[in-house]
Amino acid sequence: MPKARKRKTPIVAPSSDAATSSRPEVTRSVIREFHVLLKRQTQLGRSGTKDAATASELDRIQQRIQELGGLERYQHMSATGQKDDRGGGSHKIFIGWMKELGLHKREDKGKLKMLEVGALLPDNYQSCSSWIDCRPIDLNSRHPAILQQDFFLLDPLTNQEKWSAISLSLVLNFVPEPKDRGRMLRMAHSMMVQDGHLFIALPLPCVTNSRYLTIEHFKAIMSIIGFKQLKEKWREGGKMVYYLYQKEEPSPAQDGTLFSKKRELRAGPSRNNFAVLLADA
C-alpha cells in the first residue's frame, strides 16, 4: 500500500474573502498559497506519475487555483496589491539606477533593448520610450501589448546577446523549482549583451530568512553565473530586496556542489525554503 501523503495545510482557509479582499495581508497570503499550489503542480507534472492519487491531487490543486480566482486573479493581486515597498513599482527603481549609470544618455548606441519578464502592465517603461525599447512578456498576457511568452521557451539562438537590459521583478520567486531559477538566471546571462544590466526584485525573506539562501550566497551564485553586483536596496523590516547586476565573465565555482544541492545555511523553525540551484557543470 502506498503511504498516504500528508496534505499541506492551506496557507489561507478556502473562503471567498481570500479571493476577493484587497487587504494587504490577505493579498500576501493568497500569493503565497498560489506559489505553494503552482510548485506542487509542477512537481506532480514532472514526476510523470499517472496514478489515481496523483490525478486527484492535481484536480484538487486546479480546483483550489480556480477558487482563488485563477492565474489572472493572482496577477491582478500582484498588479494592484503590490505597491511601493511591496514591489509593483519596482520599475521605478530600475529606471533610477539606469539613469545613475547614464544609460539614458547613450546617443551613439541607440535605444536600450530591454526584456521585461513577468510584465503585468504594458507601459511600465513608457516614460522612458525615448531611450528604452521595452519588450514586455508574460506567461499569461493581460494586455495585447504584452507578448504571451514563457521565458524558458525563448529561442536561445535568436536571443543570444540580444538584450541590453533584462528585468526579473518578482519572477524568480514565481518559478517553482530551484534548479529552474538557476537556469533562468543562466539564460538571462546568455541573452544579454556584454556589460548588459539585469534587474532582480525579490521578497526580502527569500534572502534574509531562507534555510538555503543568504545575501552572500546569492551574490556568490550570481558571480558564478557571470553577474557582478552593482547595486542592492533593502531595509531591515522591509518587504522587498532589489538588485542590479552587470554581465561579466562567469567566475569558476570552487566547489560546484555548494551551489547545485540544497545545504542548510540557516537553522531554525521559522525559515522558508526558497533556494536557487545551479545544475551540475
Of 166 and 222, nearer to ligand SAM (C-beta) is 166
Q: According to the binding rule CB under 6 A, does residue 176 interact with ligand SAM?
A: no
Considering only residues 87 to 116 of the shown chain, the ones binding ligand SAM according to CB under 6 A are 87-88, 90
| Closest to 133 (Cα-Cα) out of 90, 104, 108 | 104
Core vs surface per residue 187-225: b (16+ CB within 10 A) or e: bbbebbbeebbbbbbbbbbbbbbbbbbeeebbbbbbbbb
| Closest to 67 (Cα-Cα) out of 108, 109, 110, 33 | 33
Residue 200 and residue 169 in contact, taking contact as beta carbons nearer than 8 Å:
yes
Answer for which of 170, 192, 202, 241 binds ligand SAM (CB under 6 A) is: 170
Query: How far, in Å, CA of 175 to CA of 182, rounded?
Result: 10
Closest contact distance (angstroms) between CB of 108 and ligand SAM is: 30
Answer for which of 38, 139, 145, 220 binds ligand SAM (CB under 6 A) is: 139
Answer for which of 95, 198, 201, 207 binds ligand SAM (CB under 6 A) is: 201
Of 142 and 219, nearer to ligand SAM (C-beta) is 142
Binding positions for ligand SAM, rule: CB under 6 A: 75, 78, 82, 87-88, 90, 117-118, 120, 137-140, 150-152, 169-171, 174-175, 201
Annotated binding residues for S-adenosyl-L-methionine, written as ranges, equal 118, 138
